[in-house]
Structure 1
Amino acid sequence: MSTAQSMQNQELEYVEQTALVLLGMGEDAAAKVLRHFSRDETQRVTRAMAKLSGIKSEKAKNVIQKFFEDFRQHSGIRGASKDYLSNTLRKALGNDLAKGLLNDLYGDEIRNNMQRLQWVDSEILARFIANEHPQMQAIFLAYLPPESSSAVLKNLPQDYHDELLFRIARIQDIDHQVAGDLNELIERCIEQISVTQSAPLSGVKQVADIINRFDGDRASLMEMLRLHDEDVVNEIEQNMFDFMVLGRQSEDTMDRLVQQIPMELWAAALKGAEITLQQAIKRSMPQRMIKTLEDEMQVRGAIPRSRVESARQEIMQTVRELNEMNEIDLQLYQEPTVE
């Protein structure tokens, strides 16, 4: 490859070059390749695929040409089937040595297949394996990534969590027959999920989130929606109890909330919040309290996103309770007024 071509390819990161090659493969071929990527790799590559644009045909040609040059250098004879490989190794090495090697090979295959299940909801996976033999459940959990395995375990009956964990702890390896059974279980799981699972989406919650972030006349929009269906609008309003609505409350409401909600909750909840929202909340605080809040936020440093969300939910639960007791007048959107 010429120096000029090399410089052109270097303009694209490796993940972008991968995205370009996958886009050139077509949907079916690209899908087969993505199955072998980890969750992180899949996310990085698909983001790159979505953002990739304005690539000149010459640059695309150079990237794809380099891919095929690398392929020719590294590809050899195509992989043997399981039966062929098993029989050949047994004849060459004997049963004992062949068994160990086959188990290593099948273990890698199982781990690759299990990568495909890390996107599936843990509750669905737990329901799918609930009727399997405990040993098969243990092996299934052993090959899942730890975070997925832990979530699935949580959704299985609690009274034999200890038994499953003990079985997992005792697993050293699995023979090729069990590996075959596990691969069959994985394929059945994927097939069933592909047929029965639909993407969960709450339309009402989505509309509430859109309106909460809408910069236009929310009141007029809600009134127009009310003409369609009063009950639907009531559902939308129930879902509009979002932390960001605090940025458009009256001075009296915010004064009451500042008095009611502990400083440590504000310090956690305001991490990463928009500046305009932080300013709106601080306006109801005396200078001494603002200084305390800022010091508390600085001392805490970076905190987990889950802790931030938990603090915001706790604050909004207090907001909801005070609103229901008529101790505050919460405005989900600015209603029109008349003189």
Structure 2
Amino acid sequence: MSTPLPLGGTDKAAIMVMLLAEEDASKILSQLTPDELRQLAGTMCGIGEVQPQSIIDAISGFSRSTQDSGIGDHGRVASVRRLLSSAVGEVKTENLMRQIAPEAEEEGQPALGLLRWLDPQIIGEILADEHPQAIAVLLLQLDTEVAAAALAALPEHLHTPVLHRVARLGPVSRQAITILEQTLNAKIEKLHGTIPLSMGGIKQAAEIINRSHRSVEKRVIPSIGKVDKKLAKELENEMFKFEHLFALDVKMTGVLLREIENDTLILALKGIEPEQREQFFGAMSSRAADGLRDDIEGRGRVKKTEVEQAQKDVVAIAKRLMADGEIIMGDGDEDYV
């Protein structure tokens, strides 16, 4: 038997996940970000035969029986697919599997092979004359960045109706999927059976808008507000949350802090992790930061509703400062978190 190559951190993590029961592994995978899932699942599919010595290296003190068993690579892609599906759902799983195992063709496995080959610009050109409902279904089966690029390639008059449907889509029947099949000239066999999928939502629509050009937000939100004021408000709230302020640099954070009352700041920071507060402390003098730390600790337990309101107040101030051009999020005034 050849000497196993040294294992990296991702290799060790992949081995550990593969040694767990699927239910336990799914719980762990559900806590990962899309990038982490893509990296880990890709390693799980591509690591090949895992020798006993590699297991020993990855998991110190593992049982002798496990050390001697290794992990075979037969059916690996199917196993990874089941784990991901349980953790993040079928739609996200299919999107990930197309990226990490595009050549895997297993009997009975669904595939949206077309999405592997289409450039976002081409998607936009093909769908330019299609119904917004069909476009919305397609965008929701793409990575957010790809969906944003595809949206940008569409005529501007489609942006509002498409994003409105992304946010309000709900259950999607097989007929909607069929529209995509006919439009894109690809065959989707038993992708989701006869069970409709719960797709779209405020969060997904907000993410697409956030990753689009700033002009899309400025144009689309008011347009949606004319036909659905409640949805426009929900989108605005989802697009800019307190955690988005973590993207501010030290200078911009300092500008923001000067506009916030001390009591509001104490309550707002009370609701985040200690390490996350360091961004705000770093924009203050050492003396002021130490005083704020003491104030936060001395406040004791506070109601969640008070914390949430304080964070909303801070976000409102940040939005006002952004509108006035006093703070900038990202690399320039056309960027938005």
TM over 0.5: no
Larger-gyration structure (1/2): 1
Structure with higher helix content: 1
TM-score, with structure 2 as normaliser: 0.31
TM-score, with structure 1 as normaliser: 0.31
